[in-house]
């Protein structure tokens, strides 16, 4: 990408793939950068949700900063604002001024000791004149100097944004359960005040001289890797704040530890491309916080037990907190700073977020709050969300919380991307099992169509199923359904797709359970259960509706010869819905995973997943035997894949409109 | 199972010389050493004879089988040739009591691992069952926290011909002839190759006392025992630094023979309160202080063993001190009783503090644990003892002579006193329940002010003479208790 010097010599680098997430409506988007990336680099954007009254361009700063503080990992910060305006009454200078002052005020409330030299970005789209990414106009201003605004003319779009973020940066992770006992007088009104005081005490303790930070590479529990590093609480404070006696127990070894950077834990040759997930590609450091019971600046004193009776009625309340934070740190950052400047503030922020949610119900049942981290596809960094686990995920309140997060992140509303099952899992036990196949506790083959030979349609446009599915076929699980179970197996594959996309947590039903639900809805007589009767597309739609609440579209054709005519419609389905299709009808049931269609020539092929396979789950055998592969309506020998004298029903499950 | 035992040559030879010169017919005593399950090996550091009992009688004697069974003429059957039917009499209770007292004085990695007996071959053969019973009694009195040891050593030193044999004695339920099994015994360098691990363990815990808690743990001593049990659990799951380095694998430390251990415990996870409970409390016990601990490791043993030993030493030290306080409370006559007072108020005062039922107390109480001191023992190793606030280092010397049959250190400055007297009075008068309850363990705020005053260096076990301050503090404590008591009684009257 050519770089040219602009009048102010400033260029803005954009990493995120979608900068404008507001859809033809006026509003504010916060632009996110990082102190560890070059200044004026936009990593991501978050929509401003809380506004004052109905005024979409006046952010409610206290609420916004609360939300952003818990959402955004430390190591990322708000560096700008983008305003879309449809009123066209104000001059552009005025709008830019608004954007800059919005971000300046937000930073004031987010970061208490803000750096005055920070350059802020103000960006504007005038909806009357343009809506696209390229219509954004960028301006910059120094944080302390509100008057001068400069126009930016050079915009660089990074080709490999993941590499840009993760080659030089790493994740610092810390999990910390905190159990706080609170004693309060029976006659007090102010338990919350006591709680607040206790939380403040905890804050101080993170920098207690006896606190010890054990730092290690996330995956190196075996031999060979770098040794864990031990940092002591006293080493975190700048020297002038140290109690004078703290130096006496510092050894030479400890002072060398101070000069180590995060990169100590990583090999330099690691390649982050292609970047598939934080779990696999990002470098990670794990920090454990412990309390050193062997260091004390005081002279050792023989044990003493003192009994203090409560002078008035007293009660004890125990509040449990689960903290888990991720921070983003440059690899050359000193470990000491990573802990002191990122990790501890992050823990304190999260503790306050938890406190604010627990406080109102302090004396009643505490909410079960658990932090989860997500990195939806297209996002370059994780975000953190506190979920309440006392209720089910489909509870209205939880759904609303997720919807507003989708809105903030600019995610579509018809797919669940922020459910617990979507969360990044970094806990160690899961890492040990490794591998994709065991991740979901299933041994079935997934996504068998990856890497099969192409269809042979020249100039065709391929439309495929979106997301993962499991391959169900005859004789699986030692169940003999050869000759009658193909539609059941196709249904199982479809339900597995909904499971793996996290629309449902319902397990994949057995043949008997499928029959059972058909009897329950009155479609079949009780004698149907346990029989070997076939089912068709219509029955499948009933079961999908009953078990998952998924509705389906059905396409009928009187003869297999008519199927190629439906290719355009099927391609559209894969583009918009992306669910697997079941083909039923006259004789055989198949699962359709995609079409390859040349609109001009009419040439087409169908990606068929055949449930009639009776062998073992050997990918090679399945692909070579054509059990998963492209089928042309008429093959090279003139044989028709779809029979002309049979009718076909195509079942097109519709993606539910849920998050 | 222990297959081979190695004894410290220097010490055992000294014992051998002493025994052969003494010309007494029999002697029983304790084997101080260590059994290693990982190495299937036993180590013997020293043999300590059991002293004569309170009546001045030796703990064991040979009974002439021909004579009357209960003829207690110890030492008189000092004939050159023993009759075939002679057997041993051993005062099991006394030997067990000795074991109990000695095991309190041993540090980590040193244990009472059995008994030795100096007796002729015939009597030994005839007394297998008796000896097994003694071993069992000793095992019960000096029980090891690590439970995987169901065997102890029985060392037999026979004269004419002079011979050392070692057997391991199974502690299975019933004693049979199979209980004793011979094992390989040799002498070599043991004490000289020991590695020393030192640890300072500080704790500061609050034990809430709730109304719903079972009645049985309302007694002060029981509450503390419960607290120590939780600490033991906490300590077991801790991580450790050795010389500032995190211990990950079970490596062997060969380079230095002195190591500093630090224990890292979970941060801000109060194990002393139950989860999510909300209950009424009538008071809180603040249990705080430090335990200075040492443990010894044989050069072939893994580091994990040293950590286990030092953890055990910390917990055992706390339990021993509590036990001593309770023992003393049991012995103490109910002296504080003043005649002619109101009987209900009297009841609560009568009892010594460890036995108080705190549920019924509306005033503050405290128990100062005895201080731990270290006494030089063999080849640079130490044993420990405890000094009550009212005692001086002199009692330590007595214990050493009596229990360990060693020469008392002539210079009192050789006895290390790393732990200082707890400043009980100061804290108890200035703090209320709410002060204690509001601040969780070692809140940085008010610790800082204190730490600035006492610019103490790391607590190296350094030779320090016993200073007068503890004595002064003791006097003040005693005086104030008396004054407080008088005031209380006056008010109650």
Give burial (CB, 10 Å; 0-12/13-18/19+) of A151: middle
Residue A7's pLDDT is 53
Range among A93-97, A285-289, B468-472 with highest mean pLDDT value: A285-289
CA A341 to chain centre: 25
Interface membership of A298 toward B (CB under 8 Å) = yes
The pLDDT confidence band at residue B96, using thresholds 50, 70 and 90, is very high
Nearest Cα residue to A599 out of A461, A465, A486, A442: A461
Interface membership of A361 toward B (CB under 8 Å) = no
Torsion of CA B349, B351, B354, B357, to 10 degrees: -80
From residue A517, alpha-carbon distances to A514, A532, A536, A544, A628 in Å are 5, 15, 14, 10, 29
Residues B307, B119: contact at Cβ < 8 Å? no
As a whole number, mean pLDDT of residues A21-31 equals 86
A300–chain B nearest CA distance, Å = 5
pLDDT at residue A63 is higher than 50:
yes
Per-residue tokens: A251: 């050894």
As a whole number, mean pLDDT of residues A227-236 equals 78
| Inter-chain touch B199–A306, beta carbons under 8 Å | no
**Residue matched to tokens 């209720």:** A391
- List chain B residues with CB under 8 Å of A304: 287-289, 366-369, 422, 424, 427
Please say if A612 is a catalytic residue: yes
Pick the residue with more confidence: B93 or A2?
A: B93
Residues 6+ apart with CB under 8 A from A483: A532
% of chain A beyond a pLDDT of 90: 40
Whole-number Å distance between alpha carbons of A648 and A393: 38
From residue A655, alpha-carbon distances to A581, A608, B147 in Å are 12, 20, 61
From residue A378, alpha-carbon distances to A40, A43, A578, B406 in Å are 20, 11, 18, 77
For residues B434-470, one letter each, b for 16 or more C-beta atoms within 10 angstroms of the residue's C-beta and e for the rest, the string is bebbbbbbbbbeebeeebeeeeeebbeeeeeebeeeb
Per-residue tokens: B463: 């030779």
| Inter-chain touch B276–A318, beta carbons under 8 Å | yes
Nearest Cα residue to A391 out of A370, A374, A375: A370
Query: What is the pLDDT of chain B when averaged over all its residues?
Result: 77
Residue B282's CB is within 10 A of a number of other CB atoms, namely 20
Interface membership of B396 toward A (CB under 8 Å) = no
Residue B251's pLDDT is 65
Q: What is the pLDDT of residues A346-355, one digit of tens each?
A: 999 999 999 9
Nearest Cα residue to B378 out of B341, B411, B345, B405: B405
Interface membership of B208 toward A (CB under 8 Å) = yes
SS3 label, residue B379: coil
Name the residue of chain B whose CA is nearest to A211's CA: B267
Whole-number Å distance between alpha carbons of B442 and B203: 9
| Inter-chain touch B444–A204, beta carbons under 8 Å | yes
Residues A337, B315: contact at Cβ < 8 Å? no
The pLDDT confidence band at residue B444, using thresholds 50, 70 and 90, is very low
CA A167 to chain centre: 20
pLDDT at residue B347 is higher than 70:
no
pLDDT at residue B467 is higher than 60:
no
Residues A555, A538: contact at Cβ < 8 Å? no
Q: According to DSSP H, which parts of A472-615 are helical?
A: 486-500, 511-520, 537-548, 567-576
Annotated catalytic residue within A114, A523, A612, A617: A612
Considering only A37-41, A561-565, B234-238, B279-283, which range has the smallest mean pLDDT? Answer: B279-283
Residue A247's pLDDT is 37
pLDDT at residue A159 is higher than 50:
yes
| Inter-chain touch A308–B432, beta carbons under 8 Å | yes
As a whole number, mean pLDDT of residues A198-209 equals 87
% of chain B beyond a pLDDT of 90: 26
Please give the helix or strand (H or E) that residue A119 lies within, else none: strand A119-126
**Residue matched to tokens 């992306």:** A578
Please say if A567 is a catalytic residue: no
Find the CB nearest A303 among B321, B433, B440: B321
Per-residue tokens: A236: 């975190």
Query: What is the pLDDT of chain A when averaged over all its residues?
Result: 84
- List chain B residues with CB under 8 Å of A295: 200, 202, 262
Residue A607's pLDDT is 95
As a whole number, mean pLDDT of residues A442-453 equals 87
pTM as predicted: 0.78
Q: What is the pLDDT of residues A600-648, one digit of tens each?
A: 888 899 999 999 999 988 999 999 999 999 998 888 788 888 888 889 9
Interface membership of A300 toward B (CB under 8 Å) = yes
The pLDDT confidence band at residue A48, using thresholds 50, 70 and 90, is very high
As a whole number, mean pLDDT of residues A153-172 equals 89
Residue B248's pLDDT is 77
Question: What distance, in Å, lies between the first and last C-alpha atoms of chain A?
Answer: 38
Interface test with B, best of A303, A314, A366 (most B CBs within 10 A): A303
The pLDDT confidence band at residue B458, using thresholds 50, 70 and 90, is very low
For residues B131-149, one letter each, b for 16 or more C-beta atoms within 10 angstroms of the residue's C-beta and e for the rest, the string is bbebbbbbbebbebeeeeb
Residue A312's pLDDT is 79
Considering only A170-184, B140-154, B179-193, B314-328, which range has the smallest mean pLDDT? Answer: B140-154
| Inter-chain touch B369–A230, beta carbons under 8 Å | no
The pLDDT confidence band at residue B34, using thresholds 50, 70 and 90, is very high
Find the CB nearest A310 among B269, B368, B433: B433
Residue B37's pLDDT is 80
Interface membership of A317 toward B (CB under 8 Å) = yes
Residue B71's pLDDT is 40
Whole-number Å distance between alpha carbons of A195 and A530: 59
pLDDT at residue A434 is higher than 70:
no
Residue A437's pLDDT is 35
Annotated catalytic residue within A85, A349, A481, A610: A610
CA B370 to chain centre: 12
A490–chain B nearest CA distance, Å = 48
% of chain B beyond a pLDDT of 70: 73
Q: What is the pLDDT of residues B107-136, one digit of tens each?
A: 999 999 999 999 988 888 888 888 988 998
Residue B170's pLDDT is 84
pLDDT at residue A508 is higher than 90:
yes
Interface membership of B246 toward A (CB under 8 Å) = yes
Considering only A5-14, A305-314, A327-336, B79-88, which range has the smallest mean pLDDT? Answer: B79-88
Per-residue tokens: A270: 């690691």
Residues B324, B221: contact at Cβ < 8 Å? no
Pick the residue with more confidence: A597 or B331?
A: A597
Domains and CATH numbers, chain A: 4-158 (3.40.140), 167-242+249-363 (no CATH), 461-653 (3.90.70.130)
From residue B110, alpha-carbon distances to B116, B123, B298, B309 in Å are 16, 30, 10, 9
> What secondary structure letter does DSSP report for B35?
E
Residue A254's pLDDT is 57
| Inter-chain touch A300–B459, beta carbons under 8 Å | yes
pLDDT at residue A422 is higher than 90:
no
pLDDT at residue B483 is higher than 80:
no
Interface membership of A296 toward B (CB under 8 Å) = yes
Residues B314, B199: contact at Cβ < 8 Å? yes
A177–chain B nearest CA distance, Å = 7
Interface membership of A244 toward B (CB under 8 Å) = yes
The pLDDT confidence band at residue A240, using thresholds 50, 70 and 90, is very low
Range among A49-63, A196-210, B7-21 with highest mean pLDDT value: B7-21
| Inter-chain touch A183–B285, beta carbons under 8 Å | no
Residue A236's pLDDT is 61
Pick the residue with more confidence: A433 or A321?
A: A321
pLDDT at residue A249 is higher than 60:
no
Per-residue tokens: B479: 């005086």
- List chain A residues with CB under 8 Å of B210: 316
- List chain A residues with CB under 8 Å of B224: 305
From residue A226, alpha-carbon distances to A265, A266, B93, B211, B352 in Å are 6, 8, 56, 51, 56
Please say if A481 is a catalytic residue: no
Residue A377's pLDDT is 84
pLDDT at residue B274 is higher than 80:
no
Residues B290, B420: contact at Cβ < 8 Å? no
Per-residue tokens: A471: 């391959």
As a whole number, mean pLDDT of residues B170-184 equals 78
Q: What is the pLDDT of residues A111-150, one digit of tens each?
A: 876 666 788 899 988 777 666 777 788 988 876 666 678 8
Residue A395's CB is within 10 A of a number of other CB atoms, namely 12
- List chain A residues with CB under 8 Å of B433: 183, 308-311, 314
Residues A314, A183: contact at Cβ < 8 Å? yes
Please give the helix or strand (H or E) that residue B399 lies within, else none: helix B393-403
Residues 6+ apart with CB under 8 A from B21: none
Residues 6+ apart with CB under 8 A from B290: A296, A300, A301, A302, A303, B200, B201, B202, B203, B419, B459
Give burial (CB, 10 Å; 0-12/13-18/19+) of A619: middle
pLDDT at residue B181 is higher than 90:
no
pLDDT at residue B310 is higher than 70:
yes
The pLDDT confidence band at residue B199, using thresholds 50, 70 and 90, is very high
For residue B232, what are the β-bridge partners?
A: none
């Amino acid at each position: 990408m050519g770089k040219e010097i602009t009048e102010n010599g400033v260029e803005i680098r954009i990493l995120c793939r979608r900068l404008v997430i507001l859809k033809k409506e006026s509003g504010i988007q916060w632009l996110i950068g990082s102190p560890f990336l070059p200044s004026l680099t936009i990593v991501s954007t978050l929509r401003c949700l809380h506004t004052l009254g109905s005024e979409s361009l006046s952010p409610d700063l206290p609420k916004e900063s609360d939300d952003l503080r818990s959402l955004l990992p430390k190591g990322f910060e708000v560096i700008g604002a983008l305003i879309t305006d449809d009123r066209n009454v104000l001059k552009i200078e005025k709008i830019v001024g608004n954007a800059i002052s919005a971000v300046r005020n937000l930073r004031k409330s987010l970061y208490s000791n803000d750096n005055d030299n920070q350059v802020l970005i103000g960006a504007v789209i005038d909806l009357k004149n343009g809506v696209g990414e390229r219509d954004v106009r960028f301006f910059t201003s120094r944080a302390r100097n509100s008057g001068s605004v400069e126009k930016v003319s050079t915009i660089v779009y990074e080709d490999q944004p993941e590499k840009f973020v993760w080659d030089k940066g790493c994740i610092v992770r810390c999990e910390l359960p905190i159990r706080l006992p609170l004693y309060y007088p029976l006659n007090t009104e102010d338990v919350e005040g006591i709680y607040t005081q206790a939380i403040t005490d905890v804050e101080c303790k993170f920098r207690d001289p006896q606190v010890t930070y054990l730092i290690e590479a996330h995956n190196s529990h075996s031999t060979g890797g770098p040794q864990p590093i031990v940092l002591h609480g006293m080493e975190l404070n700048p020297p002038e704040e140290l109690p004078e006696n703290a130096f006496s127990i510092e050894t030479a070894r400890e002072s060398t530890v101070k000069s180590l950077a995060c990169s100590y834990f990583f090999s330099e040759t690691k390649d982050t491309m292609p970047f598939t997930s934080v779990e696999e590609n990002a470098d990670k450091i794990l920090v454990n916080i412990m309390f050193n019971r062997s260091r004390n600046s005081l002279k050792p004193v023989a044990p003493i037990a003192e009994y203090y009776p409560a002078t008035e009625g007293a009660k004890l309340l125990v509040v449990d907190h689960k903290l888990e934070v991720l921070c983003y740190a440059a690899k050359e950052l000193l470990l000491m700073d990573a802990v002191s400047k990122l990790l501890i503030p992050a823990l304190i922020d999260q503790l306050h977020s938890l406190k604010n949610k627990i406080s109102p119900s302090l004396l009643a049942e505490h909410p079960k709050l658990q932090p989860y981290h997500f990195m939806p596809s297209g996002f370059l960094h994780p975000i953190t969300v506190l979920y309440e686990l006392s209720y089910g995920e489909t509870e209205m309140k939880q759904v609303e919380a997720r919807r507003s997060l989708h809105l903030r992140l600019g995610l579509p509303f018809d797919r669940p991307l922020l459910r617990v099952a979507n969360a990044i899992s970094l806990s160690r036990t899961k890492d040990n099992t490794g591998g994709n196949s065991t991740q979901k506790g299933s041994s079935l083959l997934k996504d068998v169509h990856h890497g099969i030979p192409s269809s042979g349609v020249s100039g065709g446009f391929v439309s495929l199923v979106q997301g993962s599915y499991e391959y169900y076929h005859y004789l699986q699980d030692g169940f003999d359904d050869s000759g009658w179970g193909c539609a059941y197996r196709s249904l199982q594959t479809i339900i597995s797709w909904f499971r793996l996309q996290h629309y449902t947590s319902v397990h994949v039903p057995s043949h008997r359970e499928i029959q059972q639900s058909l009897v329950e809805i009155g479609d079949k007589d009780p004698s149907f259960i346990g029989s070997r009767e076939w089912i068709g597309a219509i029955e499948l739609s009933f079961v999908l509706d009953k078990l998952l609440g998924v509705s389906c579209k059905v396409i009928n054709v009187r003869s297999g010869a008519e199927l190629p005519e439906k290719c355009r419609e099927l391609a559209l389905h894969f583009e918009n819905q992306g669910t697997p299709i079941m083909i039923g009808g006259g004789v055989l049931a198949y699962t359709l995973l995609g079409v390859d269609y040349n609109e001009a020539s009419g040439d087409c092929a169908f990606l068929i997943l055949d449930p009639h396979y009776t062998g073992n789950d050997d990918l090679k055998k399945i692909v070579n035997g054509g059990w998963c592969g492209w089928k042309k309506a008429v093959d090279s020998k003139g044989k028709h894949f779809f029979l002309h004298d049979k009718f076909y029903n195509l079942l097109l499950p519709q993606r539910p409109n849920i998050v | 199972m222990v297959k081979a035992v190695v004894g410290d040559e220097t010490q055992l030879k000294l014992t051998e010389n002493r025994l052969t010169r003494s010309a007494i017919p029999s002697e029983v005593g304790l084997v101080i050493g260590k059994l290693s399950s990982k190495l299937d090996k036993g180590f013997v550091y020293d043999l300590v004879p059991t002293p004569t009992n309170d009546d001045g009688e030796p703990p064991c004697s040979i009974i002439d089988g021909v004579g009357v069974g209960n003829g207690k003429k110890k030492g008189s059957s000092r004939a050159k040739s023993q009759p075939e039917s002679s057997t041993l009499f051993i005062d099991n209770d006394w030997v067990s009591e000795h074991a109990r007292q000695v095991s309190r004085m041993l540090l980590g990695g040193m244990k009472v691992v059995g008994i030795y007996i100096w007796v002729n071959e015939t009597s030994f053969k005839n007394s297998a069952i008796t000896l097994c019973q003694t071993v069992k009694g000793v095992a019960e009195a000096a029980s090891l926290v690590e439970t995987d040891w169901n065997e102890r050593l029985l060392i037999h030193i026979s004269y004419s011909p002079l011979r050392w044999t070692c057997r391991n004695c199974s502690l299975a339920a019933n004693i049979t002839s199979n209980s004793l099994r011979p094992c390989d015994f040799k002498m070599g360098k043991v004490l000289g190759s020991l590695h020393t691990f030192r640890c300072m363990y500080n704790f500061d815990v609050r034990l809430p006392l709730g109304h719903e808690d079972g009645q049985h743990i309302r007694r002060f001593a029981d509450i503390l025992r419960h607290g120590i049990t939780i600490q033991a659990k906490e300590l077991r799951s801790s991580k450790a630094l050795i010389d500032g380095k995190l211990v990950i694998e079970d490596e062997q430390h060969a380079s230095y023979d002195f190591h500093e251990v630090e224990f890292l415990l979970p941060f801000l996870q109060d194990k002393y309160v139950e989860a999510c409970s909300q209950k009424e409390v009538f008071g809180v016990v603040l249990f705080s202080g430090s335990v200075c601990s040492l443990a010894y490791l044989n050069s072939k043993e893994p580091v994990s063993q040293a950590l286990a030993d030092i953890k055990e030493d910390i917990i055992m030290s706390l339990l021993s001190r509590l036990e001593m306080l309770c023992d003393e409370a049991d012995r103490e006559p109910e002296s504080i009783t003043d005649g002619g007072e109101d009987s209900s108020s009297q009841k609560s005062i009568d009892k010594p503090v460890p036995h108080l039922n705190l549920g019924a107390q509306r005033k503050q109480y405290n128990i100062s644990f005895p201080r731990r001191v270290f006494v030089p023992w063999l080849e640079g190793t130490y044993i420990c003892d405890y000094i009550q606030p009212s005692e001086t280092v002199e009692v330590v010397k007595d214990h050493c002579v009596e229990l360990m049959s060693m020469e008392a250190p002539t210079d009192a400055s050789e006895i290390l006193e790393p732990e200082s007297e707890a400043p009980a009075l100061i804290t108890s008068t200035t703090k209320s329940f709410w002060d204690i309850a509001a601040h969780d363990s070692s809140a940085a705020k008010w610790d800082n002010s204190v730490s600035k005053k006492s610019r103490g260096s790391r607590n190296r076990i350094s030779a320090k003479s016993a200073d007068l301050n503890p004595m002064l503090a003791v006097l003040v404590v005693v005086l104030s208790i008396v004054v407080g008591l008088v005031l209380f009684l006056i008010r109650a009257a």
